[in-house]
């Protein structure tokens, strides 16, 4: 696998991780709010709904940088590389999958070859379509 393939895989993995974290937060919100509704107690509904909302907001704050990093990596943007490195380093404490993703991110993006993929961004020349008939 080339380094470009590794960066593409990393982008997909970061987006998938962010989506999974967000889905876990959404599931927690639904479960807590559902328990509050089932209990029939308005106080329990309010408290559990608030806890669920705070949990959803927290997981959203964790998920958004991962998704942004993945999109930046897929677009081969330097800011995406930087965000992915930060997210990868923070993911190291999330044992075991976050640790694996963080180590993979650091390995793929921190060396000279990984940096070079993002520094040598050249814009391809525009495609010019001629509407005049050939002479």
- State the Cα–Cα distance between residues 83 and 69, nearest whole angstrom: 5
Domain count, the chain: 1
Specify if 135 maps to a domain: no
CA distance 84 to 72: 8
Asked if residue 128 is part of any domain, the answer here is no
Judge whether 127 lies within some domain.
no
Answer yes or no: is 124 within a domain. no
- The rounded distance, in Å, linking the Cα atoms of 94 and 50 is 26
62: in domain? yes
User: 132 lies in a domain?
Assistant: no
Flag whether 129 is in a domain: no
pLDDT digits (tens, 9 = 90+) for 80-123: 999 999 999 999 998 899 999 999 999 999 988 888 888 866 55
Full-prediction pTM beyond 0.85? no
List the domain range (segments joined by +) for residue 59. Answer: 3-117
Whether 124 shows a pLDDT value over 70: the answer reads: no
Which of 36, 123, 121, 37 lies closest to 76, judged by CA?
A: 121
């Amino acid at each position: 696998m080339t380094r470009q393939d590794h960066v593409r895989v990393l982008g997909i993995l970061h987006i998938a991780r962010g989506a999974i974290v967000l889905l876990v937060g959404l599931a927690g919100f639904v479960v807590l709010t559902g328990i509050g509704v089932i209990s029939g107690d308005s106080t329990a509904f309010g408290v559990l709904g608030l806890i669920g909302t705070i949990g959803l907001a927290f997981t959203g704050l964790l998920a958004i940088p991962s998704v942004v990093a993945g999109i930046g990596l897929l677009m081969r943007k330097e800011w995406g590389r930087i965000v992915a490195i930060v997210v990868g380093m923070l993911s190291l404490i999330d044992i075991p999958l976050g640790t694996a993703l963080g180590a993979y991110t650091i390995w793929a993006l921190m060396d000279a070859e990984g940096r070079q993929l993002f520094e040598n961004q050249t814009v391809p020349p525009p495609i010019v379509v001629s509407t005049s008939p050939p002479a």
